[in-house]
A = this chain, B = another copy of it.
Amino acid sequence: MTPRRQQILSTAADLFAARGFHGVSMGDIGAAVGVSGPALYKHFASKDDILGQCLLHASDQLLAGARELLPDAEAAPGDALEALIARHADFALDNPALIVVQEREWGALGADTRAQVRKRQLAYVDVWCDALRPLRPDLSAAQARAAVQAAFGLLNSTPHSARIGRGAMHALLTSMAHAALLPWTVTRPGGPGPSR
């Protein structure tokens, strides 16, 4: 993939995240990358194509990252979920625009592209559920999916706040997600807890 394409996709994702797909014109995207309007058709077939490539790229990255983690965790199954949480937090902190666009604009996609993105998203949720369910046998399959989606909502809250540094945010989000999904495994640190 040519660097121009990547630049356009990244810039468009930022604009879509800030103003919504229908709130951004081709002229806006072109101006943001230093060319003007119709030049974008040399790289993409249409505005919908730009959005589609954004979402396909984002869902691909998330799913591939999660699957990359799985072989390592077979020996210590309890750590798989931990790794998924940390990886997702990294992705959300590094690509807030992709996170926002992915959860906001999937309805603006054509049926075919939407199906492809949906497939990746469902597969991603499945990876999480496979990691969660052995640790939470009290949850039904549907409950596990809902819990995973809720954890995504927590981790994806990054774009709405981020007043503390990236490292602190990462630590906060991962610890909260861990507690939300595996509440009984939390150990109180040595420092002053809330009971005092």
Contacts and interface: CB of A to CB of B under 8 A. Distances in A.
A105 interface: yes
A91 to B, nearest CB: 15
A124 interface: no
B146 A161 contact: yes
B194 A185 contact: yes
Contacts of A147: 172, 176
A147 B183 CA distance: 16
Interface string A135-175: 11110101101110111111111001111100011001101
B142 A152 contact: no
A169 B191 contact: no
9 contacts: A20-B104, A21-B22, A142-B163, A147-B176, A150-B155, A150-B157, A153-B156, A176-B180, A184-B188
Interface string A7-46: 0000000000011111100000000000000000000000
Interface of A: 18-23, 103-105, 107-108, 135-138, 140, 142-143, 145-147, 149-157, 160-164, 168-169, 172-173, 175-177, 179-186, 188, 191-195
A155 B37 CA distance: 40
Q: Would you list the 6 A-B pairs with minimal beta carbon distance, nearest first?
A: A153-B157, A22-B22, A179-B183, A149-B161, A154-B154, A180-B180
Contact of A146 (B20, B164, B182): B164
B105 A20 contact: yes
A20 B18 contact: no
A107 B19 CA distance: 7
